[in-house]
Structure 1
Amino acid sequence: MSAQRKYFVYALLLMLSSAAQCRHPFDFFDESIEDFVDCLLKHNITHTEYEQFESYENKQNLLANKLELKYKCNVDCQLQRQPMKWLTAAGRLDLQLLNATDEAAASIVDCMANADAEQCAYSFKLVMCAYLANHPPPDELEPSNYEAEDAEETDEFYLDDGCFNLPNDLIAKCTTQQNITSDNFRHKLYDAQAGTPLVNISLNYMCYVLCAAQGLNILDANAHVDVDLLSEVEYMSPSNYDAAVQCNLGLQQEHDTCVYAFKMLLCLIKNLNTAEFLNTSEKKL
């Protein structure tokens, strides 16, 4: 098996287990250290608590809106202290200040349509919506020295957001085939994680996942994920392997291959130990 396909298989697992992006929603925060500390003090959050809150391991909880109000209020405080403002004096989104691309702006507006009017919840959702819309874009964020070194070593597969990802031609093929955008897909995935019934999510978003898996040739004859193949080409810990097998077994009666693919994605997001998988994968890279 080629190294390129191996990396792409890893990329698909990354998509399934971490909702396709390895950037963090707070990457753009650039307030002064004084403002950062002041926000923590105002909301009675310790540095240790904040480090746990903003960790990559906690990102799925952020996307699923599983956090205490004080953390949302801290995000609002940080957002209000940014040198580049996103909010009006009344604390509402200002598209002109946001300075996003037309596509990102439209995606954010759509995502914010049902935002809670309470200020802390509103600001937190805005940050999440911007993240899902890929705003600010990765090339506007300063990469760390670690990321820059990795980019030189793995140029063919490395993206500006610091992650391996699906190949652009496969993304283009699948989004065109299903008449969706990657940003909209992330929003639908976010909605599903937050509890939106799958009957309210269009089938083309589910077929996008199937298309990606087909493009990587990791499905069996029934168009189900071949867990053994995945474990052969990219290390999976015993616990993650068992979790993937159980997800697969639980969906054997799902005959619609698109629905199966999307449900498999959701099951893996919920049950895989993402940090463990990424750590072992990084060692192999």
Structure 2
Amino acid sequence: MFRVGLLCILACSVVSIQSFSLLEETYVSDCLASNNISHAEFQELIDRSSEEDDIENTEWRYKCLIHCLAEKGSLLDSNGYLDVERIDQLEPVSDELRAILYDCKKVYDQEEDLCEYAFRMVICVTDSFESDEVTEAMKNTNKLNE
């Protein structure tokens, strides 16, 4: 159901909460290098994002890429966990997104491996949005059928 490329794109967009600049491009390059991922591999991952991938078999280096991007984007607290207030300061988030972030944090903030934590948080947020979209679509369909 999930696509690793899509998750990495989401992680990159989280880093780009601030206006996109050369500095953020450097973040991506630094994180790719520190996780031994070439630009070509990353582009291939993005290009494959429309294909189904087995999310549970995601390579560790891609999980660590997500944590690195969040760290470089100053989205984490001093313990390496997502800092919702910091994100809200950088770019105000909707009440819905804030609730989703806090719900996901409740589930995953005990994870000791920070790469796994970042990866699971992105999956949780993505799952929550997909669930909300499905729920909303069902509500709209039911209204049409009334």
TM-score in same-fold range (> 0.5)? yes
| Cα distance in structure 2, aligned partners of 1:222 and 1:190 | 34
Q: Does 1:178 align with 2:35?
A: yes
Q: Does 1:231 align with 2:88?
A: yes
TM-score, with length taken from structure 2: 0.65
Q: Give the greater-gyration-radius structure (CA).
A: 1
SS of equivalent residue, structure 1 residue 204: helix
Give the Å deviation of 1:190: 6.4
Give the Å deviation of 1:231: 1.4
- Map residues 1-285 of structure 1 onto 2, 5 A cutoff: 15-16=10-11, 157=20, 167-180=24-37, 181-186=41-46, 194=52, 196-198=54-56, 200-272=57-129
Give the Å deviation of 1:182: 2.1
Tell me, yes or no, if the aligned pair for 1:244 and 1:272 is still in contact at 8 Å.
Answer: no
Tell me, yes or no, if the aligned pair for 1:16 and 1:268 is still in contact at 8 Å.
Answer: no
Tell me, yes or no, if the aligned pair for 1:19 and 1:269 is still in contact at 8 Å.
Answer: no
| Cα distance in structure 1, aligned partners of 2:23 and 2:127 | 21
> Quick check: which one's helix share is greater?
2
Of structures 1 and 2, the one scoring higher in RCO (CA 8 A, sep 6+) is 2
- The runs of at least 4 consecutive aligned structure 1 residues that moved more than 3 Å come to 16-20, 184-191, 272-275
Give the Å deviation of 1:187: 6.6
| Cα distance in structure 1, aligned partners of 2:10 and 2:103 | 19
Gaps of 5+ in 2: 1-8, 134-146
What is the number of residues matched between the two proteins? 118
C-alpha RMSD over aligned residues: 3.5
| AA aligned opposite 1:196 | D
- Residue by residue over 1:52-92, the C-alpha shift from the partner in whole angstroms, topping out at 9 and shown as x without a partner, is xxxxxxxxxxxxxxxxxxxxxxxxxxxxxxxxxxxxxxxxx
Residue of structure 2 in register with 1:149 after alignment = none
| AA aligned opposite 1:157 | F
Gaps of 5+ in 1: 1-13, 21-155, 159-164, 276-285
Instruction: Report the CA distance shift for 1:177/1:184 in structure 2 as closer, same or farther (over 3 A).
Output: farther
